[in-house]
């Protein structure tokens, strides 16, 4: 931020932006008194931030105005939240106090501003002297505000969205920190609170900066497709519109295209190309239910569905009924994918106006309808989730880093529905096992479980439950928990109960764990000493424990010693030159003298800085990368879009550095995987391998293809020098007769 006199043009922009906000607030405020509070908050904040500019050079007050616009427009909150958004930086950035806000605006607005100030203070604190789990503590504090007023979190999400919109003005290391925090916590939080618009925009911004080439390529393809298919979509809508009018529905139809991020995510997770995404287009039908009709709101949704599927054939495995079983974030809709008469797949989303408000505004709309007396079957789901979060937050045995992972896993997991033997429906995390279900029923049922019956069939406790399963737990009086259960339990509650059981046998677990650690270290040529223990505590992020805590977790089986050699070798003297053949050199950015703006160049012969390529994502020269510096100066290089990297950056933003590919050692090659799909024919394997080995002179490490019904699918692991090599190879392979797609995938 900087201080300077505002120009007439600055005042004009401020007046224009506030006029837009005031117009939006006018529709949300119940009366002139509420609107006056918004006006007063603007005038106060405008004076407090007078002469202050953001990094972009624009007047600082434009930021709180923009946050307030998101609060009212995207989230649908009322005048107190709009006022709090306008005032959210005043206490932190000026001499005014929370008491000043309270005296002028009352207790509730002051409480909201106080909550936002505390969040901002801890998020922006970059004092390296603080404990390493500071960022985890920060998020704990954010989530603790759910205990007081969920509006604090909602306004913070609006603040984060606007910071993402203006992230281009941040230095790259800070950009990485903000984007990683956004993906790890804020995007899942927006999803869980039902803020689809906020979530989608954050995701697209994340992709634009993490994978700029991919983002631009997908965006260009979307734009080309829209131009090509616009008339087809319009023609698709006409018969539906006519049929709904004939049936007497009051409705509107909107067109939508998948977002760049959702397309990229599907391409990456399913190893497919852009052209293989068949549900690129969606049509949203929003109707006002007939309150006088005999049919319920839900039945009227099914009526619309029957009209549409009477016109177009639908894909039965792509029907999603979130009307009968709403998502845990409150989302209700009926989705189906149908084939248009012109031969393209179109997703149709059916919602009532209430459902649409909740889908777009999330929890705020959900509670507004509840307040107005509308009772939904899903009314308690949001409250259940917030209660569950509160339980985690107040658990004294959960340290901040574990808590952050728990919340992240909870936010990103989805639920399935299963049934008890008596037919009672239960909601449980997707991926949960029969043993997780046993512990959900009762602690003693879990402790004494020996097997389960699912749909009247005997299954082991490791059985992964599916939606619609009817589950009965079989117990034995003398049975007790086993350590190996921790290997397959998925829910936080079940794992916590089993760990609690073994706390009484802590010393035995420490003894077992220490022996395992000693054996694992010996197998890679190291011995157990203070240096290796310190490296492991740091590498496995056991910041609130000691050697005993490390051994205890290993002994229980909670901590797997993955990447052990990499972790102990990064502890200074333990490293050998062979394990780190490349080094970093300093590359000064524009702001000389500021440590955080210095980049690291990969490939220099200077031996000052060592690096290692991360095993989780295996970046190659040309990929967009981010680095994390350990205490001894070693930098681990990840792809920017790597989920592991996002998790590290979200927890340890002070470790982020910005590597650059430069001066690559010519004889160094990198292992990548290409996934292939296509039509089988005689000699195609020979043609593929001959082209890779002889024409491109690329070494193949592994080649796997399987064929069924004339169609093949598989992958090739091979070595390339850089991304340019890989792209050339991919283009050439795509031209071989029979190959339908070649995409880079995870090893």
* Alpha-carbon distances of 71 from 35, 74, 205, 219, 678, rounded to whole Å: 15, 6, 19, 27, 48
The C-alpha atoms of residue 406 and residue 397 are separated, in whole angstroms, by 13
User: Which string of b and e fits 592-622 if b means at least 16 CB within 10 Å?
Assistant: eeeebbbbbbbbbeeeebbbbbbebbbbbbb
The token duo for 425 is: 């429906």
Nearest to 86 by CA among 38, 124, 150: 38
Query: 3-state DSSP helix/strand/coil percent for the chain, to nearest 5?
Result: 50, 20, 30
- As a whole number of angstroms, the distance between CA 489 and CA 642 comes to 25
Residue 589: pLDDT band with limits 50, 70, 90: very low
Contact (Cβ atoms closer than 8 angstroms) between residue 738 and residue 684: yes
Q: Give the model's pLDDT for residue 377.
A: 47
Q: Where are the alpha helices (DSSP H) in 331-378?
A: 353-361, 363-371
Handedness of CA 710, 715, 721, 723 (dihedral sign): positive
Q: Which pairs from 557-564 meet CB under 8 Å and 24+ separation? A: 557/483, 557/484, 557/486, 557/487, 558/486, 558/495, 558/499, 561/516, 561/517, 561/520, 563/539, 563/615, 564/520, 564/521, 564/524, 564/536
Dist CA 308 CA 714 (whole Å):
38
Q: Which residues of 254-285 are buried (b: 16+ CB within 10 A; e: fewer)?
A: eeebbbbbbbbebbbeebbebeebebbbbbbb
Judged against a pLDDT cut of 90, whether residue 334 lies above it is answered with yes
Give mean pLDDT, residues 443-451: 93
pLDDT interval class at 596 (50, 70, 90): very low
User: Could you give the C-alpha distances from 19 to 12, 14, 73, 125, in angstroms and in order?
Assistant: 11, 8, 14, 34
- Identify the band that residue 535 occupies on the pLDDT scale cut at 50, 70 and 90: confident
Using one digit for the tens of pLDDT, what is the confidence trace for 106-157? 998 998 888 888 776 555 554 433 444 455 555 665 666 555 577 888 898 9
Q: Return the top range by mean pLDDT from 3-7, 290-294, 638-642, 689-693.
A: 638-642
**Residue 572: pLDDT band with limits 50, 70, 90:** very low
Is residue 443 within 8 A of residue 500, CB to CB? The reply is no
Strands 599-604 and 656-661: parallel
pLDDT at 612: 79
- As a whole number, the mean pLDDT across the chain is 81
Whole-angstrom Cα distance, residue 413 to residue 192? 10
Give residue 19's pLDDT band: very low, low, confident or very high (50, 70, 90).
very high
For the segment 491-523, what is each residue's pLDDT rounded down to a tens digit?
Answer: 878 988 888 787 767 788 888 889 889 888 877
SS3 702: strand
Mean pLDDT, residues 345-369: 82
Q: Contact at 8 Å (CB) between 353 and 285?
A: no
Stretch 30-40: mean pLDDT: 93
**Pairing of the two strands 320-321 and 334-339:** antiparallel
Query: How far is residue 135's CA from residue 403's CA, in Å, rounded to a whole number?
Result: 12
Read off the pLDDT band of 666 (50, 70, 90). low
Q: Which residue has the higher pLDDT, 386 or 34?
A: 34
Residue 670: closest CA among 725, 728, 732: 725
Closest Cα to residue 730, out of 714, 716, 712?
716
> What is the pTM (predicted TM-score) of this model?
0.71
Architecture of domain 670-745: 2-Layer Sandwich (3.30)
Band of residue 433 on the pLDDT scale cut at 50, 70, 90: very high
pLDDT digits (tens, 9 = 90+) for 177-193: 889 888 887 888 888 77
- pLDDT score recorded for residue 132: 40
- Provide the pLDDT for residue 582: 41
- Measured distance CA(27)–CA(191) in Å, rounded: 26
Q: Smallest Cα–Cα separation from 105: which of 91, 119, 84?
A: 84
Strands 635-639 and 625-629: antiparallel
Residue 367 — pLDDT band, cuts 50, 70, 90? Answer: low
Asked whether residue 586 carries a pLDDT value surpassing 50, the answer given is no
Catalytic residue annotation:
92-93
Domain residue spans of the chain: 2-169, 212-379, 413-503, 506-572, 575-661, 670-745
- Residue ranges with strand state E in 394-465: 415-419, 425-429, 449-454, 457-459
How far is CA 223 from its chain centroid?
A: 26
Mean pLDDT of 652-681: 80
CATH 3.30.460.10 fits 212-379, yes or no: yes
Judged by average pLDDT, the poorest of 42-46, 194-198, 210-214, 545-549 is 545-549
Strand partners, 612: 636
SS3 state at 629: strand
Q: For residue 155, give both structure tokens.
A: 């306004």
What sign does the dihedral 619-621-627-633 (CA atoms) show? positive
> 595 to each of 218, 326, 591, 598, 627, how far by Cα in Å?
35, 49, 9, 6, 14
Contact predicate 587/658, CB 8 Å: no
Q: Cα dist. 592→401, 589, 596 in Å? A: 34, 6, 10
**E strand residue ranges, 261-303:** 281-288
The superfamily CATH assigns to domain 413-503 is Beta-grasp domain (3.10.20.30)
C-beta neighbour count of 640 within 10 angstroms: 22
pLDDT at 436: 95
- The reported pLDDT for the residue numbered 2 is 61
Mean of pLDDT values over 280-286: 91
Token pair, residue 34, equals 């509420």
Q: Give the β-pairing of 583-587 and 599-604.
A: antiparallel
Band of pLDDT at residue 86, cut at 50, 70 and 90: very high
The answer to whether the beta carbons of residues 499 and 489 sit under 8 Å apart is no
Residue 303 in this model has a pLDDT that exceeds 90: yes
Cα–Cα dist 326/461, whole Å: 28
Residue scoring higher pLDDT (726 or 395):
726
The pair phi, psi for residue 3, each rounded to 5°, is -110, 130
d(CA 106, CA 94): 19
pLDDT, residue 210, reads: 92
Distance (Å, whole) CA 219 – CA 216:
5
Q: How high is the pLDDT of residue 390?
A: 58
User: Would you state the pLDDT for residue 642?
Assistant: 87
Sheet holding 449-454, edge to edge: 457-459, 449-454, 471-475
Predicted confidence at residue 593, as pLDDT, reads 37
Predicted confidence at residue 579, as pLDDT, reads 35
Q: In what order do the strands lie in the sheet with 670-679?
A: 700-708, 711-720, 670-679, 739-745
In the predicted structure, residue 355 carries a pLDDT above the cut 60: yes
For residue 578, what pLDDT is reported?
Answer: 33
* Residue 648: DSSP 8-state: H
Region of poorest pLDDT, from 587-596, 644-653, 671-680, 726-735: 587-596
Question: DSSP assignment, residue 275?
Answer: G
Give 2-169's CATH code, choosing from 3.40.228.10, 1.10.3210.10, 2.40.50.140, 3.20.20.80: 1.10.3210.10
Q: What average pLDDT score do residues 200-204 get?
A: 95
CA distance 719 to 183: 31
What does the angle CA 163 – CA 165 – CA 169 come to, to the nearest 5 degrees?
A: 75
> Residue with structure tokens 């205890």?
552
Q: Which helix (H) or strand (E) holds 206?
A: helix 196-210
The residues with which 745 forms a beta bridge, in sequence order, are: 673
Confidence band, pLDDT 50/70/90 cuts, at residue 583:
very low
For residue 295 the two structure tokens come to: 């049919």
* pLDDT for 649 beyond 90: no
């Amino acid at each position: 931020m900087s201080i300077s006199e505002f120009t007439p043009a600055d005042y004009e922009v401020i007046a224009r932006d506030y006029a837009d906000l005031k117009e939006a607030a006018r529709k949300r405020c119940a009366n002139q008194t509420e609107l006056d509070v918004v006006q007063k908050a603007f005038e106060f904040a405008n004076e407090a931030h007078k002469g202050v500019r953001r990094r972009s050079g624009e007047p600082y007050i434009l930021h709180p105005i923009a946050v307030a616009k998101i609060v009212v427009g995207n989230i649908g909150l009322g005048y107190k939240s709009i006022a709090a958004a306008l005032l959210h930086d005043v206490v932190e950035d000026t001499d005014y106090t929370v008491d000043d806000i309270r005296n002028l605006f009352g207790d509730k607005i002051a409480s909201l501003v106080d909550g936002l100030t505390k969040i901002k203070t801890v998020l922006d604190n970059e004092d390296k002297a603080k404990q390493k789990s500071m960022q985890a503590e920060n998020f704990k504090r954010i989530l603790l505000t759910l205990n007081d007023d969920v509006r604090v979190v909602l306004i913070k999400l609006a603040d984060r969205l606007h910071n993402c919109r203006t992230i281009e003005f941040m230095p790259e290391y800070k950009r990485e920190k903000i984007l990683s925090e956004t993906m790890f916590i804020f995007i899942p939080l927006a999803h869980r609170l039902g803020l689809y618009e906020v979530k989608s925009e954050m995701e697209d911004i994340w992709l634009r900066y993490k994978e700029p080439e991919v983002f631009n390529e997908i965006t260009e393809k979307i734009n080309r497709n829209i131009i090509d298919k616009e008339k087809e979509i319009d023609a698709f809508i006409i018969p539906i519109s006519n049929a709904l009018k004939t049936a007497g529905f009051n409705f509107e139809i909107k067109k939508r295209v998948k977002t760049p991020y959702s397309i990229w995510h599907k391409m990456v997770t399913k190893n497919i190309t852009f052209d293989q995404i068949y549900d690129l287009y969606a049509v949203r039908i929003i109707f006002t239910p007939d309150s006088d009709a005999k049919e319920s709101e839900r039945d009227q949704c099914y009526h619309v569905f029957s009209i549409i599927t009477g016109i177009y054939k639908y894909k039965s495995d792509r029907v999603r009924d979130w009307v009968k079983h709403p998502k845990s974030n409150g989302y209700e809709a009926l989705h189906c994918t149908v084939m248009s008469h012109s031969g393209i797949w179109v997703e149709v989303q059916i919602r009532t106006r209430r459902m649409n408000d909740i889908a777009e505004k999330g929890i705020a709309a959900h509670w507004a309808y509840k307040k107005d007396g509308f009772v939904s079957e899903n009314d308690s789901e949001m409250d259940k989730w917030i209660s569950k979060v509160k339980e985690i937050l107040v658990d004294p045995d959960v340290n901040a880093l574990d808590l952050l992972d728990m919340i992240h896993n909870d936010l990103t997991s989805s639920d399935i529905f299963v049934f008890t033997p008596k037919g009672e429906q239960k909601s449980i995390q997707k991926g949960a096992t029969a043993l997780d279900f046993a512990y959900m029923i009762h602690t003693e049922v879990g402790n004494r479980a020996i097997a389960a019956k699912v749909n009247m069939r005997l299954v082991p406790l490791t059985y992964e439950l599916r939606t619609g399963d009817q589950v009965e737990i079989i117990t034995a009086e003398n049975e007790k928990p086993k350590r190996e259960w921790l290997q397959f339990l998925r829910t936080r509650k079940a794992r916590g109960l089993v760990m609690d059981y073994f706390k009484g046998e802590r010393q035995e677990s420490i003894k077992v764990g220490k022996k395992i650690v000693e054996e694992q270290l010996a197998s890679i040529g190291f011995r157990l000493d203070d240096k290796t223990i310190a490296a492991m505590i740091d590498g496995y992020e056991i910041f609130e424990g000691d050697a005993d805590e490390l051994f205890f977790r290993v002994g229980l089986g909670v901590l797997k010693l993955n990447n052990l050699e990499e972790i102990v070798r990064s502890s200074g003297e333990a490293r050998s030159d062979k394990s780190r053949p490349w080094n970093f050199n300093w590359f000064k950015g524009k702001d000389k003298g500021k440590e955080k703006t210095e980049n690291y160049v990969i490939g220099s012969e200077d031996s000052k800085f060592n690096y290692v390529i991360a095993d989780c994502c295996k970046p190659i020269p040309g990929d967009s990368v981010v680095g994390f510096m350990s205490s001894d100066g070693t930098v681990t290089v990840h792809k920017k879009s790597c989920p592991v990297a996002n998790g590290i950056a979200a927890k340890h933003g002070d470790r982020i550095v910005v590597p650059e590919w430069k001066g690559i050692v010519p004889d160094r090659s990198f292992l990548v995987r290409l996934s292939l799909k296509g039509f089988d024919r005689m000699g195609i394997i020979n043609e593929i391998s001959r082209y890779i080995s002889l024409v491109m002179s690329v070494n193949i490490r592994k080649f796997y293809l399987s064929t069924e019904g004339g169609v093949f699918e598989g992958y090739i692991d091979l070595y390339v020098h850089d991304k340019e090599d890989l792209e050339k190879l991919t283009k050439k392979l795509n031209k071989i007769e029979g190959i339908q797609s070649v995409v880079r995938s995870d090893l």
